[in-house]
Structure 1
């Protein structure tokens, strides 16, 4: 046992995925897979998610569904139906604050895969596009997803979290009992490093031009997702327009919440909730988190600076000494 413990080391690999990058660290023990095997398994999962849910390739399952007219049904893989069901439940629970049918609006504002650069559309154009937006237009019938309007799905708000959960679980199944998985910024940590110390990650401060740690937390069996409006935006006539749209208005959010981080056992749950809370804003989002026991960390603009606060559940998970 002592020899096995001494031989443990952290292996690391990564690469491009989903228009961004991924990285995996895991403790290589006697039971853990080789780097080659682990990489092959991870990239197989990422390739599957890309083929099913990518909005940036015309041959993906989601883009083929999006091209269908109103009144159509299409058989979809079980993971996609699972995520549609998950998103629909979040939408109902938040009175429409979360919505993964926003792709036409994202394109209209210039933030989607078919956007033509950021600009402020007319109120008439927003109203016209909103007619084909909303989870109420979708229904799952067996293995098929049906739509009664020309709905277009965008999995970008939850696909990475889903992939993190899949990859983390697969690594555990292969015998890697300690790992840190990050995909396009969503991450999950399981177990501890060879020296017994926890995986530690930094919650990023909302800075436009550089990465700065706002808070450092230790994780074991927990996932982290951060949503913010401080990088992807455009300005017109001195006004800032965020890439985060409020489904209820069809327009970018206007409140002063700069970023929100959610910690949960499920990366999928954390991914969806961080987007939802970002839409709700500091007051409504804070109340939503408290009512449901969500571990959330809010960074709010105040004057020229920022103020931060954690929900009750966040403070319970992470003592004040962790900074």
Structure 2
């Protein structure tokens, strides 16, 4: 006996997502008429029969969006997730949120569970190390966005992030304008795409000025930043300015320099990256590259709902603007 056609078969033939087919079956007004006609033709061609009784049992999951974040301990990602959830809620969608703590095996587990529970779409800030989770997403034919960092080709899942290269260029140009002679980049694990992106503007700017870069790699965070202050003082005393991979690293660097009695803004200028709330509250106030992560979260909500409701797949890559916010830590 031939296998009965599934909703995924209908979606594939109609050239739409599984979630769009579900909306058509639920007679949702969110789907445009042309798309509804395409889905119904595919159903007729395949002989697909909608089991409304079974669908009613699943109805509690309708409008559920999965959000998977690699590190919710970092305020940058927390602010993104909060903004995203609020924007989705305003449009009537519920959110299920998971933190993977940079563990690819956990990422595969939580995404698999979300798919089993019928999420309509996924927004993933992914952990590095394994693409298994995206294989499962592809098999389920569920719309999925990669945000803030990329681990699979954009042909498999569109990618969106702030303009990291421009951010590091603006920060480096600012430090040079403040008279810096030896600028280091502190934090970020070697070989990771997000580290390369956040360093690229720094490297290009120094190259244009005939200056030699210095990277102190490490898992970005306060502990590493504090340790980096000691290493800079002992091993690289000529460094007079630092661009950090993120604000947590920069905040740790501020602490370490304070312990050494080093004058921030004079002996050493520091710029962070992301502009989390703490940057304006610490002393001295921390200069940072502002990514408008709250606005980014709202935009990603709009993007995934446009894909889900109107079948408008986003472009392969979306880059959002950044600005530099100078404060006392980098001003003479």
The TM-score range, normalised by the shorter chain, is under 0.3
Compute the TM-score of the two structures, normalised by the length of structure 1: 0.26
Q: Which has the larger radius of gyration?
A: 2
Question: Which structure: greater strand fraction?
Answer: 1
Compute the TM-score of the two structures, normalised by the length of structure 2: 0.26
Greater relative CO (CA pairs within 8 A, separation 6+): 2
